[in-house]
Amino acid sequence: MADRTLILAFETSCDETSVAVVENGTKILSNIVATQIDSHQRFGGVVPEVASRHHIEWITRCTDQALAEANVSYNDIKAVAVTYGPGLVGSLLIGVTAAKAIAWAHNLPLVPVNHMTGHLYAARYVGEFKYPQMALLVSGGHTELVYMKAEHEFEIIGETRDDAAGEAYDKIGRVLGVNYPAGKTIDEWAAKGEDTFHFPRAMEKEANYDFSFSGLKSAFINTVHNADQRGEKLNKYDLAASFQQSVVDVLAEKTMRALDRYPVKQLILAGGVAANHGLRSRLDHDMHKYHPDVTMLQAPLKLCGDNAAMIGAAGYMCYQHGDRAGMDLNAEPGLMYGRMK
């Protein structure tokens, strides 16, 4: 029988309580996700204290359900993987504590996983990774270009200097009266409108790979507020399309430029905003036009949001490389990759 390494994985970095059982980093046996969206919608965003309390309520139930759905016991598990950062410290601590307790009680190795590495490895379920590789990671709290010369070598070559792309979507969504999280609705509206407002493309032509979406957010909000003061009604579909076109233009431009400088075999698209159809379509077009020899792996839509299956895939890779943590493992809310000089 082929080697069968089962990883029990935990993800509680923000407002999703998730536990999964993953086989050899490529097969999902179970992936339980308890969402908290309804609890946070009335606040227009995630409330950290509320999120951590929900994790406490759900973590044991999700663990039991993940093992039952995978039809395995703790005796079948080879290691426990857990997100220990970045994220909300209170939320992270629930997952880290649960993982440590299980690892200690069942004498299992404890594997620490960077949340962003998890997002990247969601694409591993689509196809085999080949190196060197570039990843565009776009989520609610992070927008990063990560260069990987080899497996388990992560270096940030570009990142957002203020708002992340997903964060900007949620902020302009509130102005438009869209419930949190706003990304999906804005994406759907954008498909029905046109870029008539021509919002700024911040840092698009600068000689770096960094991003900035704060100015775009401010320009959008000012446009809407000025129209409201004049009693003018703006087309919400055109507003959404104009905002999204600006975000997509910058993300695509910076990514293509990074690929020009760093020859790679693959481009990975992952993170919550990777589910955006406008971004997927644009990158498909640009990759075929400018980098036809580079294959692109896009994280499956159902795995773009926070989930433990992605942590299981990344955890298997980290386990194979000998990454281990002791019972003193703590949450690191500001955890990052090393930045390239």
Asked whether residue 284 is marked as a ligand-binding residue, the answer is: no
Q: What pLDDT does 340 receive?
A: 43
| pLDDT at residue 40, as a whole number | 66
Residue 187 marked as a ligand binder: yes
Q: Which residue has the tokens 């409108």?
A: 193
Check residue 340 and report its DSSP letter.
P
210, burial (CB in 10 Å: exposed 0-12, middle 13-18, buried 19+): middle
Annotated binding residue 291: no
Query: Do you know the residue count of the chain?
Result: 341
CA pair distance 218, 224, nearest whole angstrom: 10
pLDDT of residue 321: 97
Q: Is 166 annotated as belonging to a binding site? A: no
pLDDT number for residue 338: 59
User: Is 127 annotated for ligand binding?
Assistant: no
Any binding-site annotation on 328?
no
Please tell me the predicted confidence (pLDDT) of residue 54: 86
Helical packing angle, 165-175 and 214-229, nearest 10°: 10
76 is in an annotated binding site: no
CA pair distance 265, 267, nearest whole angstrom: 7
137 labeled part of a ligand binding site: yes
Q: Of 126, 161, 136, 143, which Cα lies nearest the Cα of 280?
A: 136
Q: Is 91 annotated as ligand-binding?
A: no
Eight-state DSSP code of residue 125: G
**What are the residues facing 137 on neighbouring strands?**
144, 270
179 in a known ligand binding site: no
Three-state secondary-structure class, residue 202: coil
Q: What is the mean pLDDT of each run of 10 residues along the chain (341 residues)?
A: 86 93 98 80 72 90 98 98 96 97 98 96 98 94 94 94 91 91 94 97 90 95 96 97 97 97 97 95 98 97 96 98 97 78 35
